[in-house]
Each structure stands twice: as C-alpha cells, then as structure tokens.
Amino acid sequence: MDINDFIQYKDKFTENAFVDKVSKIAKRAGSKLVYAALVLYYTLQSDKVSLKDKAIIIGALGYLVAPIDAMPDIIPIAGLGDDLAVLLFVLEKVWGDVTDEIKGKAKAKLAKWFDDDEIVKAEDVFTEEPQDIPV
C-alpha cells in the first residue's frame, strides 16, 4: 500500500458522510474498525497534525465512506476487512499524533454503540485476532 493510494478518496470524505456511514455499519463492522475510524476522525480535528497527515487521514476516511471500494462492504468478512486494513495502515502512520484526549473521545463515542466487552476488543487496534474480524 502506498499513501498516495488513499489520496484519491479525499473527495469522498465529509463529516456527515462519515457519521452516517459509521453509525450504519457500527455493529457489523466491529468495535476495532469503528475505534480506528473514530481515532482518525478526532486526530484530523487536531491542530497539531501536519497537513500531509491530515491528507492521508482524509483519504482513509474517504475510502471508508466511499460506496465502491476494492471489496464492496456487502461481502461478508472481506467487505469491511479492506476498510479496516486501510484505517490501520494510516493509523499506524499517524499514531505519534494520537493523544490520550483523542483516544478518550473515541472511546466515549464507541461506548454509545458497543457494550463494554466489545470496547475492550478495540483497545489494541494493532492486534488482529480471528474473533475480531468484521462480519
């Protein structure tokens, strides 16, 4: 994967499209995907993030909200797996900019859609276990 691959999706990202998509797919996508998306969303709002990093975040979130991507979201397991891979790739690139405050905001929002045991699964976004694969 190359960072430039995500830039083509920048025009797909809007705040309303993001909130709409995440609220629609939250349970099906799993807490890990939603947490990664929320962390990127709140990181994007930080004034401490470089323009380059904001560009790749917008590209990744645009990829998430795009109706057509490499694996259509309606395909079980794989459909949201590519979205998770993109989000984790970009999240790893910008992880140094992710503050505890951003993580807290993401967890607070996550708590509105998931039970406590599901939230625990999202805490280590860089560990993928078979039961955490989105369905």
Alpha carbon distance 36, 30 (integer Å): 10
- The overall pTM is greater than 0.95: no
Per-residue confidence (pLDDT) for residue 129, from 0 to 100 = 43
Alpha carbon distance 87, 37 (integer Å): 6
Per-residue confidence (pLDDT) for residue 131, from 0 to 100 = 38
Per-residue confidence (pLDDT) for residue 7, from 0 to 100 = 66
- pLDDT means per 10 residues, the chain with 135 residues, are 66 77 68 91 93 93 75 55 87 92 92 82 62 40
